[in-house]
C-alpha cells in the first residue's frame, strides 16, 4: 500500500515537472506520413483529338492543392521517381515506360522566398525557386534513353503581381522532345470532379438523399475538388511507339522514393549514405480511378501500392465480391440489389479489359486500357460524360478522358446499372445475374457532372491552375 502511494506520488511529481520542463527533449520525429508529392491522384489516357496519331497520358500528383499555398508552394519532389508505364502485350508488365526526375534550383541562397519580383519568363531572375526535369524512356529490351534534360516547369500561379500573364508562362513550358514526343509538367487545375463532402458522409449522393437509409432532402451535387490545383505530368507520344502487335495498351502511373536502411551491407560499418541507399520503393500507383479508394481494403493498401499490376491476381477477390456493391445495396434500399459475388463484369472492366473493346488477355492487372484503334469523338471536353455507358467507345473504360464522369460510371457499374447500351451486352455474358441494366441503379450519380474549369483543346488539355491571389477556399 505504502509502495503504491509512493509510486503514485512519484508519477504525479513526474507529470508536474514534465509540464514545467521541456517535455520534448528527446528526438520525436513526426510519425504521420502525409506525402502528397508522391501521391498519385488520377491517371488519364486517350487518343489526342487534335493529333490523332498520338496518345496523351496524364498523371496527376499532390491531392487537393490550395491555390494560395505560400510561402512554401507545392512542387514535385526532387527525391521522387515519377513514372508512366505502358504494357502493350497484356502480360501485366512494362513494355515502355517514361520516367521523370525533378530538380529544384535556388537562384538566390540568401532568401527563402519563391520569387522576389514579377515572373515574366521561365528564365526570369526574380524567380528564385525553379524546377526542371528530365524524361527517360525505358523499353523492355533496350537501354534507358534520356529524351530530355533541364526541361523547364512553369511557376505556380501566385497572383497578378508575381505571375502576370500566366498562360504565356505555362505555354512556354510545353516542350517538344525527340521522336515526336511532347511533354508538360507543372501546376494545373485538378481536373477531377466528385462530391467529396457527401460521399465522405456515409456514401451520400445528394440527388439521391431521400432514398438513403438516413434520408435528407435532395440537393444538387457539390464538386469537392473545385477550386483545387494539382501537379500534372502530361506526355504525348506517337501511338506507333507505344503499341505492340495489337492496338490496345495498358497504362498506369507510379511514384517511388529511395529505400534506406540504418546500417550498410553486412560486415561494413559506418558506411555513409552511399552504400545504404538501395533501389527505389514504389509508394504509390494508380490506373483505374477509385480502385485504391473503394476496392482495396484499408489493411492492404500499402502493400497494393508497393506492388506492380502484374501481381494483381491476389486482389481479384476484392473485385469479384465488391464491398462497394454491398454498401450500395445496404444504404440505398430503393436499388435493385446487384450481386455481391461472382462479379466477372468488374474483372473485365477493371482487370482484363472488355471483350471486343479493349481485352488484353487473361492476365488480371489494374491498367487503364486504351484501344488506340478507336478514334476520338471530338475535341477534348466534348465527349459524353458517361463514356462507354453512353455508347461512346472512345470513353472510359476505354482509356480515360478528362471529361469522363468516372464516379457515376463506376457507381452504376458496381450496382449492375450499366444502362441500355452496355447492360444487355454485360448480361449476355451471364454477369449481374442476367440483368445488368437495373433501375434505378442505372441513374446513380453524385450530381457533379463536369469539372469546374473548361479543359483546353490542345496539349496539355488540363486547365490552367487557379490563382492564389483571387482565391478563397472552403473557409480555410
Partner 1 sequence: MTRTSWRSSPRHRSRVKVLAATILAAGLAAALPRMNWHHPERVVDSMSIAPAVGMPGAPTTSADGLRQRIADMENRLRERPHDGGAAVLLADALLRQGRVTGDGHPAARAAEVLRIALEDNPGSYDALRLLGAIDLSQHKFRDALDVGRRARDLRPGDAWNYGVIGDALIELGEYDQAFDAIDTMARLRPTAGAYARVAYARELCGDLPGALHAMQLAASATASRDPEAQAWYASQLGELYLRMGRLDDAEREYRRASFMFPDYLLAMVGQGKVMAAKGKQDEALAIYLQQLRRTPTVDLASRIGDLYAGHGDTAQAEHYYQLAEDLAGPPIAQTDATLVLFLAEHDRKLPDALTLGKSIAAMRSDIFTEDALAWTYYKTGRLKEAFSASRRALRTGTRDSQILRHAAEIEHAYHATS
The footprint of partner 1 on residues 435-464 (CB under 8 A) is 446
Angle between helices 323-331 and 406-414 (to 10 degrees): 80
Cα 316 from Cα 336, distance rounded (Å)? 24
Cβ-contact 70, 84 below 8 angstroms: no
Nearest approach, Cβ of 110 to partner 1 (angstroms)? 9
Cell output for 54: 498520338
Residue 212 or 369 having the CB closest to partner 1:
212
Nearest approach, Cβ of 40 to partner 1 (angstroms)? 8
Cα 415 from Cα 419, distance rounded (Å)? 11
Considering only 8, 17, 52, 457, the residue that binds partner 1 (CB under 8 A) is: 17
The footprint of partner 1 on residues 225-284 (CB under 8 A) is 225, 257-263, 269-273, 276-277, 281, 283-284
Cβ contacts of residue 269 below 8 Å, gap of 6+? 263
Nearest approach, Cβ of 282 to partner 1 (angstroms)? 10
Considering only 172, 301, 382, 433, the residue that binds partner 1 (CB under 8 A) is: 301
Residue 264 or 379 having the CB closest to partner 1:
264
Nearest approach, Cβ of 325 to partner 1 (angstroms)? 10
Establish if 222 lies at the interface with partner 1 (CB under 8 A): no
The footprint of partner 1 on residues 109-128 (CB under 8 A) is 109, 112
Nearest approach, Cβ of 240 to partner 1 (angstroms)? 33
Nearest approach, Cβ of 434 to partner 1 (angstroms)? 22
Cα 200 from Cα 84, distance rounded (Å)? 29
The footprint of partner 1 on residues 306-335 (CB under 8 A) is 306, 323-324, 326-327, 330-331, 333-334
Give the x-and-dash track for 349-378 against partner 1 (CB under 8 A).
Answer: ------------------------------
Q: Which of 176, 87, 164 is nearest to 459 (CA)?
A: 176
Considering only 50, 63, 308, 469, the residue that binds partner 1 (CB under 8 A) is: 63
Establish if 297 lies at the interface with partner 1 (CB under 8 A): yes
* Count of residues touching partner 1 (by CB under 8 A): 104
Cell output for 380: 477534348
Q: Which of 127, 196, 193, 195 is nearest to 462 (CA)?
A: 193
Cα 237 from Cα 57, distance rounded (Å)? 8
CA distances from residue 91 to 95, 195, 207, 284 in whole angstroms, order as listed = 9, 36, 41, 21
Residue 52 or 333 having the CB closest to partner 1:
333
Dump strand ranges (E) for 40-180: 40-47, 54-65, 81-87, 96-106, 129-139, 145-152, 175-177
Nearest approach, Cβ of 322 to partner 1 (angstroms)? 9
**Side-chain-side CA neighbours of residue 390 (13 Å):** 16
The footprint of partner 1 on residues 386-445 (CB under 8 A) is 407, 410-411
String of DSSP letters for 341-382: S--HHHHIIIII--TTTT---S-----EEEETTSPPSSSTT-
Nearest approach, Cβ of 24 to partner 1 (angstroms)? 6
Nearest approach, Cβ of 400 to partner 1 (angstroms)? 13
Residue 113 or 425 having the CB closest to partner 1:
113
Cβ-contact 400, 476 below 8 angstroms: no
Stretch that binds partner 1, among 50-58, 189-197, 244-252, 396-404 (CB under 8 A): 189-197
Stretch that binds partner 1, among 200-208, 364-372, 395-403, 461-469 (CB under 8 A): 200-208
The footprint of partner 1 on residues 73-102 (CB under 8 A) is 73-75, 77-79
DSSP character at residue 293: I
For 24, other C-beta atoms within 10 Å of its C-beta total 8
The footprint of partner 1 on residues 151-180 (CB under 8 A) is none
Considering only 32, 217, 245, 472, the residue that binds partner 1 (CB under 8 A) is: 32
Helices (H), ranges, 41-191: 166-172
Amino acid at each position: 500500500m505504502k509502495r503504491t502511494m509512493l509510486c503514485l506520488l512519484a508519477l504525479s511529481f513526474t507529470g508536474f515537472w514534465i509540464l514545467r520542463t521541456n517535455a520534448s527533449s528527446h528526438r520525436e520525429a513526426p510519425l504521420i506520413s502525409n506525402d502528397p508529392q508522391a501521391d498519385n491522384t488520377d491517371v488519364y489516357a486517350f487518343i489526342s483529338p487534335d493529333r490523332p496519331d498520338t496518345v496523351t497520358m496524364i498523371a496527376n500528383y499532390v491531392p487537393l492543392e490550395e491555390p494560395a499555398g505560400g510561402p512554401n508552394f507545392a512542387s514535385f519532389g526532387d527525391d521522387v521517381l515519377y513514372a508512366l508505364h505502358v504494357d502493350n502485350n497484356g502480360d501485366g508488365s512494362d513494355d515502355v515506360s517514361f520516367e521523370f526526375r525533378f530538380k529544384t534550383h535556388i537562384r538566390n541562397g540568401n532568401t527563402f522566398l519563391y520569387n522576389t519580383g514579377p515572373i515574366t519568363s521561365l528564365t526570369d531572375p526574380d524567380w528564385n525557386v525553379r524546377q526542371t526535369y528530365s524524361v527517360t524512356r525505358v523499353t523492355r529490351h533496350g537501354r534507358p534513353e534520356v529524351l530530355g534534360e533541364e526541361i523547364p516547369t512553369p511557376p505556380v500561379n501566385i497572383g497578378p503581381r508575381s505571375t502576370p500573364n500566366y498562360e504565356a508562362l505555362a505555354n512556354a513550358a510545353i516542350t517538344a522532345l525527340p521522336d515526336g514526343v511532347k511533354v508538360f509538367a507543372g501546376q494545373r487545375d485538378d481536373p477531377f470532379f466528385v462530391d467529396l463532402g457527401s460521399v465522405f458522409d456515409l456514401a451520400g449522393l445528394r440527388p439521391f438523399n431521400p432514398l438513403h437509409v438516413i434520408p435528407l432532402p435532395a440537393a444538387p451535387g457539390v464538386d469537392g475538388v473545385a477550386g483545387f490545383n494539382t501537379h500534372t505530368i502530361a506526355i504525348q507520344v506517337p501511338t506507333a511507339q507505344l503499341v505492340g502487335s495489337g492496338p490496345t495498351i495498358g497504362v498506369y502511373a507510379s511514384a517511388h522514393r529511395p529505400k534506406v536502411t540504418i546500417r550498410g551491407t553486412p560486415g561494413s560499418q559506418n558506411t555513409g549514405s552511399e552504400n545504404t541507399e538501395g533501389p527505389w520503393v514504389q509508394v504509390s500507383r494508380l490506373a483505374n480511378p477509385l480502385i485504391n479508394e473503394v476496392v482495396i481494403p484499408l489493411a492492404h493498401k500499402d502493400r497494393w501500392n508497393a506492388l506492380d499490376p502484374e501481381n494483381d491476381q491476389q486482389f481479384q477477390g476484392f473485385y469479384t465480391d465488391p464491398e462497394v456493391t454491398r454498401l450500395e445495396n445496404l444504404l440505398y434500399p430503393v436499388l435493385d440489389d446487384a450481386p455481391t459475388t461472382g462479379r466477372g463484369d468488374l474483372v473485365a472492366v477493371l482487370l482484363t479489359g472488355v471483350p471486343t473493346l479493349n481485352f488484353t488477355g487473361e492476365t488480371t492487372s489494374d491498367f487503364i486500357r486504351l484501344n488506340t484503334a478507336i478514334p476520338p469523338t471530338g475535341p477534348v471536353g466534348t465527349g459524353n460524360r458517361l463514356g462507354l455507358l453512353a455508347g461512346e467507345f472512345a470513353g472510359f473504360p476505354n482509356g480515360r478522358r478528362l471529361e469522363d464522369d468516372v464516379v457515376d460510371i463506376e457507381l452504376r457499374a458496381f450496382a449492375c446499372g450499366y444502362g441500355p447500351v452496355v447492360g444487355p451486352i454485360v448480361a449476355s455474358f451471364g454477369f449481374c445475374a442476367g440483368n445488368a441494366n437495373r433501375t434505378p441503379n442505372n441513374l446513380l450519380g453524385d450530381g457533379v457532372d463536369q469539372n469546374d474549369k473548361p479543359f483546353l483543346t490542345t496539349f496539355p488539355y488540363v486547365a490552367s491552375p487557379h490563382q492564389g491571389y483571387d482565391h478563397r477556399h472552403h473557409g480555410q
